[in-house]
Amino acid sequence: MKRSMLRGFALAGVLVLTAAACTGGGGDGDEGNGPVTITVLDYYGEATPFSKDVIDRFEADHPDIKVKYEAGDWDTMHEKFTVRVSGGDSPDVATMDMTWIPTFASKQIFADLSDLSGGQLNGSAIEDHYQPGAIEAMTFDGHYVTMMFDFDAYGLYYRADQFEAKGIDVPTTWDEFRDAAKKLAEDTDGDGVCDKYCFEVYGNDCFHWCQLLFQAGGSILNEDNTAAAFNSPAGLKSLEFYKSFIDDGSGIYWGDAQGEPIRGIKDERLGMFLDGPYYMGLLKSGAPDLKGKWAVAPPPVDVEPGSYLGGTGLSIPVNAPHPDQAWTFIQYMLEQQQQVGVFTLAGAAPATTAALQSPELTKPDPYFGGEAPFGVFKDSMATATHFPYVEQWDPIDTDIGNMVQSVMLGKATPQEALDTYEAKVNEELAG
């Protein structure tokens, strides 16, 4: 009698321990009793548009919805999101880098926002709120998979004080670009390699080189995304152009070993670089003592203006616990005040047309010598192209990055690299 009782208790104890160990998240399935809690996961880091004030105001306006805000960071967001969604612990709203949209959307990870919204955003048609390029970027397979929240298109950041001191004009064409870089760069130790005020040749991704490809009139993939199209005269010209900065000593290769570009800006190794609006915020917080020395201009043009179009979208995973409330929150974040907050709080560029026209964004900025650089990015956005929306975009993105890197590191000539990686990308698309 005593033995079987002991056995019974032991078994019960072990089962309780196991049950306790196994219950993970999902503790708020409180349908119908009290407020619903939605989980919002973002990657902005410290300077986030999802500030406490913004969230508090939302909760005050919507007493039936509570927001559990989780601060992530851009570096780990992709993995975190993947793990949570596949593990069944999806957030309700997540910030998505627009370049991740092809991979996730093609695996049907996102809820159909066309369905969920009924085509309406804050009282009018979704199309009324965005420029055509953004509308296209938010669409996958005929429906909306994300709502663009901030946009990314490139402008030319340059050391205005050095330009003035050395009598350099702001370049508008590729030839003027090379000249400006040569005049700007300084080789302080005479070893033929640029040491100060160099042009940043960011050599291991598609973001930076691909816009040069677009400016030369080229494209990454063909019309129906079935084959690589970058092995073209435009591809060759743009690769050679990019490499020429390193070869003639006016550019510095920037890869992982150099660390964050802001370090190069601080110690003045960099004098010119192409990047997005969020760099305005990074400059102010990372290099405050260079206030008044930097300015932004439209990127120099070859055949036509071109930039990549990226940014952040707000998406709802297909297995989110509370999609309707999540959509309410997204609409709130796309209201004018929150969109302007994208700029004032995070130093990034809001995506809605109304916010882009807000006077907040065109105020003179003392950091940039009293100019308002925002207009430059807005213009870039108008001629920007988003990356191809194919299922295999992730590996293709990596391949293109490797291609650029192999040329910049001198491991292959531009034509060799184009040939090798055209074959690789075609293989990806076929298989």
Partner 1 sequence: MLPAYVLIAPAILSAIVFLYVPIAYSGFWSFTEYSGLGTAKWVGLANYRDLLADEDFLKALWNTVLFVLIGMGIGPVLGFLSALLLNQAVRFRAFFRAAYFLPVMTSLVVVASIWKVLLNDQGIINQIFSLFQLPTRTWLDDTTTALPAVAVTSIWQGFGFETVVFLAALQAIPRDYYDAAKVDGASYWQQVRHITLPSLRPTIMFVYIIGIIGSFQVFDQIFVMTSGGPINSTRTLVFDLFERFNQLELGQASAVAYFLLVILASLSYIQIFLFERGRR
> Contact positions toward partner 1, by CB under 8 A?
3, 6-7, 10, 13-14, 17-18, 21-22, 78-79, 82, 85-87, 103-104, 107-109, 204, 253, 255-259, 318-319, 394-395, 402, 405-406, 409, 411, 424, 431
CA distances from 361 to 121, 310, 326, 345 (A): 23, 19, 28, 12
Give the shortest CB-17-to-partner 1 separation in angstroms.
Answer: 6
CB 263 within 8 A of CB 283: no
> Listing from the earlier edge strand, what are the strands of the sheet with 155-159?
251-254, 198-202, 270-275, 155-159, 294-297
Q: Which is nearer to partner 1, 9 or 324 (CB)?
A: 9
Shortest distance in whole angstroms from residue 255 CB to partner 1: 4
Give which of 331, 350, 330, 332 is closest to 340, Cα–Cα.
350
Eight-state DSSP code of residue 27: -
Pairing of strands 251-254, 198-202: parallel
CB 250 → partner 1: shortest distance, Å?
A: 18
Q: Give the shortest CB-220-to-partner 1 separation in angstroms.
A: 18
At its nearest, how many Å lie between partner 1 and the CB of residue 236? 19
Compute the distance between CA of residue 214 and CA of residue 6 in angstroms, rounded to an integer: 75
Report the residue number, 86 or 285, with the smaller CB distance to partner 1.
86
Instruction: Write the DSSP assignment of 44-58 as a string of letters.
Output: BTTS-SS-HHHHHHH
Residue number with CB closer to partner 1 (122 or 319) = 319
Cβ proximity of 146 and 101 under 8 Å: yes
**Which of 103/352 has CB closer to partner 1?**
103
User: Would you say 17 or 71 has its CB closer to partner 1?
Assistant: 17
Q: Between 164 and 267, name the residue whose CB sits nearer to partner 1.
A: 267
Nearer to partner 1, 86 or 120 (CB): 86
Q: What angle do CA 260, 180, 259 make, to 5 degrees?
A: 10
Instruction: Count Cβ neighbours within 10 Å for each residue of 241-279 and write b for 16 or more, e otherwise.
Output: bbbebbeebbbbbbeeeeeebeebbbebbbbbbbbbbbb
Q: How far apart are CA 402 and CA 22, in angstroms?
A: 42
CB of 183 to partner 1, least distance (A): 25
> What is the closest distance, in whole angstroms, from the C-beta atom of residue 191 to partner 1 in the complex?
11
Q: How many helices (H) and strands (E) does the chain have?
A: 18, 17
The CB-of-238 to partner 1 minimum distance in angstroms stands at: 19
Residue 316: closest CA among 115, 56, 137: 115
The least distance separating partner 1 from the CB of residue 114, rounded to whole angstroms, comes to 20
Comparing CB distances to partner 1, the nearer of 104 and 214 is 104
d(CA 356, CA 77): 27
Q: Is the CB of 232 or the CB of 402 nearer to partner 1?
A: 402
Amino acid 379 reads: D
Minimal distance, residue 337 CB to partner 1, in Å: 35
How many CB atoms are closer than 10 A to CB 198?
28
Between 307 and 315, name the residue whose CB sits nearer to partner 1. 315
